[in-house]
Structures are given as structure tokens and as C-alpha cells.
Structure 1
Amino acid sequence: MTDPESAAGGEELQTTITGPENAAPDSPQRNRPQWPDLPVDDDTANLRQGPDLHEACLGLLPLVGTWRGTGEVVYPTIDGPFHFGQQITWAHDGRPFLSYEARSWLLDPDGGIIRQAARETGFWRPQQDGSIEVLIAHNTGVVELYFGPKGDMRSWQIETDAVARTPSAKEVTAAKRLYGLVNQGDLAYVDERAMVGQEMQPHISAVLHRVVG
């Protein structure tokens, strides 16, 4: 694997980061939508473009990009399982954090789109000891503050330290997620939750392929 500091400076990334066997063919040239007239550095989801990745974020370097794929939702309090499509983007503006955005859509048994579904936005904030603070706000009225230990450049585990919600949101008391690189560069994750009176248990799982970066 390329030395992370060299990669952050714009040199070619190796297969353990980009996963070209499974990535979209044009992913190295693509980026998230840009604002060319923005007077400060815009977020970039492509390490070959834009500002250098901050040294503090090197432990999260493999996540930077846009990922797209499918997954499944299950829980005792809902019908299902439901299948969904999802896109997740981790980007940066040269400062010591990553911006995070995820949006999903429900799929029918044939893979057709039924309707838009959950959205999330937030920040991943690496700390000096390599641990991670993660803030995620959901369109459903839930805000989660996660904490995770130092990852190993291939997997990252985070667990809620605090959960807040609006009066109209469903009860969520705890959550944890495990993200990992699999299958020559795909990104898989599992989300477990304790909500609406249920104990912590699997809720969402997905496998995503790199489409940007």
C-alpha cells in the first residue's frame, strides 16, 4: 500500500485504497459536485484533487470518496426485510475532519426504485490518539454522537456516547456501526440499534462500491 502521507499529497493510490477491480472505471477522475467560485477550499471526495488531506485524517484516508451500493433493513418493529440503495460520501477541505453525507432509497424485489428514504449528514473528527468522534444527524429528527477507537486502515468501529431526538422522532437509545473494506476494496458496514423498546440488535447492512476517488 502507498504510504498514506504520499497518497495524501496526490500520488497514485494503491488497490487497497481504491479497489479498482470493483470501482467505477471513471472513479479516479470523478469528484463530488464542486463550487468553482467558492472563495475558500471546497470539499473534495477525490484525493487527487483539491487540498491535501490533513495529517490528522490519515487513519480515515481509505474512506475518502463516494460509495454506492445496496443493503437490507430488518427490525422486529417493522415489516421486512426491506432492500435499499445507498450513496455515502466522505470528503474533506484540508482541515482535520471529514464531512459525511449518506442518502438512501427503497428498492422493490426487482431493484426498481420505490421512493427516497433515510438521509444523514455529519462529521468524522479524528483525535490525536487516533480515536474518532463522529456526529451524525438524521432527517428523521435524531442526532447521534459516536466515539470509536483507532482503526487499522481497513476497519472502523463506532458506538454512540449520546443520542438526542426531537419530540416527533422515534425513540433511539443507542447505536453502533462497523465499517470495513472487503472484496478488493468494497466497503461493507453493519448498523446495530436499540430503539422503540428493543435491545441492541442488527438493523442495517450494506455493501458499497467506490464511484468517486
Structure 2
Amino acid sequence: MSSPDDFAPPPIPAPTADLTSGPPLHDACLPLRALVGVWRGRGEVDYPTIDGPYRFGQQLTISHDGRPFLRHEARAWLLDAEGAVLRPAAWETGWWRPQPDGTLELLLSHITGIQELFYGRAADQRWELTTDSVVRTATAKDVRAAQRSYALTEDGVLDYAEHRAMVGVTMTPHVTARLHRTS
């Protein structure tokens, strides 16, 4: 039988998506500083093998706990033509790991049974990443590779785009979104 203490927060600092509170951002994460926060917006998902395009809402949270990596969590929900929520959709979690040579590692796990390791670089408020490896469960879609880009516009919007090679289709645009900082 569980007690209330079983669900108490751990006795360590919680990650924060707010650069004005909590531990200072680790120097290694400075190339990613502009990404830290909570972002929310809308986008579109399409692919030759789906009956799309579909509109979705998304929240992306990039947080840190003072160590040399950032936590990544993105949740999405499908929207109807009027913008009402239809149902939950994608959910991914992972870590951004900046390296001393300027490269970035992004490790992501998806609820669909896919794990991806991306490598890339940061340049002028833009982050470009390509998968080095994709691991799938036996029941996951046949994803072979992916490319992601995140770009912070002059007006503070985070544009996100993803291309995928999956289910027999070569690298093709799949997702675009515009996210606004909420905190």
C-alpha cells in the first residue's frame, strides 16, 4: 500500500524552464539558452502515407537543472478545422546534450516505440539536427531517418520543421509548427 510520501517530489532541485529562477544554466548549454522555456502553438502534420494534412496544437518544454544538458518534452494534440481539441497525439521526451566541440546531441523517445539519436549544430538562433540512429520496437512504424530544425525568429517565435524517411518513403517534409514562448 502506498503512502503520500511515495509520491512526494524527490529531495533534489526540480528542473526549471525559467532562466530567472533555480540553478544557473550550465555554461555548456549557452548555445541552447534561447530554447529554454515553455513554448506553445499550432502546426500541421502531413505525409504521403496519411490522409492529411492534419492540424495540431503542441507544447514544448525545454528545462534544466544546472547540469550540462537540457530536458526536452513535447506533447501534441490533434485539432479540428475550428481549432477544437480532438484527441491527444504525439508525445516525446529526451535530452539535449551540447558537446565541447560545438556539436549537439538530441536523444528522443516517442510513445510510438521509436528512439532517435540526432546530431547537429547551433548557429545564429537556429538548431539543425539529423538522426545518426533510429531504434524501433517490433510494433513501431518503419522510421529510417529524420531531420529537425528549430529557428527563433526576430519576433521571438520558434519555428519547427521535421522531415522523415519512413514506411518506404524517402526523406519528405512531415511536420511544421510555430510556437510562442509562454514562460
| TM-score over 0.5 (shorter chain) | yes
Match of 1:106 among 59, 78, 92: 78
Q: Which piece of structure 1 moves more, 152-161 or 60-69?
A: 152-161
Match of 2:150 among 179, 182, 186: 179
Match of 1:88 among 60, 63, 70: 60
Please give the secondary structure, in 1, of the residue aligned with 2:47: coil
Match of 2:95 in 1: 123
1:198 offset after TM fit, Å? 0.1
- Rounded to whole Å, the distance in 2 between the matches of 1:45 and 1:87 is 13
List per-residue Cα deviations over 1:4-47 (Å, max 9, x = no partner): xxxxxxxxxxxxxxxxxxxxxxxxxxxxxxx9954212100000
- Rounded to whole Å, the distance in 2 between the matches of 1:73 and 1:59 is 28
Match of 2:40 in 1: 68
Match of 2:174 in 1: 203
Higher strand content, 1 or 2 = 2
Query: Number of matched residues?
Result: 177
- Rounded to whole Å, the distance in 2 between the matches of 1:37 and 1:133 is 28
1:122 offset after TM fit, Å? 0.2
Letter in 2 for 1:177: R
Structure 2 gap segments, 5+ residues each: 1-6
Please give the secondary structure, in 2, of the residue aligned with 1:60: helix
Compared with structure 1, are the counterparts of its residues 67 and 36 closer, same or farther at alpha carbon in structure 2 (3 Å cutoff)? farther
Letter in 2 for 1:128: P
Structure 1 gap segments, 5+ residues each: 1-34
Asked whether 1:169 is paired with 2:132, we answer no
Q: TM-score, normalised by structure 2?
A: 0.94
- Rounded to whole Å, the distance in 1 between the matches of 2:141 and 2:51 is 16
CA RMSD of aligned residues (A): 1.3
Please give the secondary structure, in 2, of the residue aligned with 1:43: coil
Residues 115-154 of structure 1 aligned to structure 2 (within 5 Å): 115-149=87-121, 151-154=122-125
Identity of matched residues, %: 55
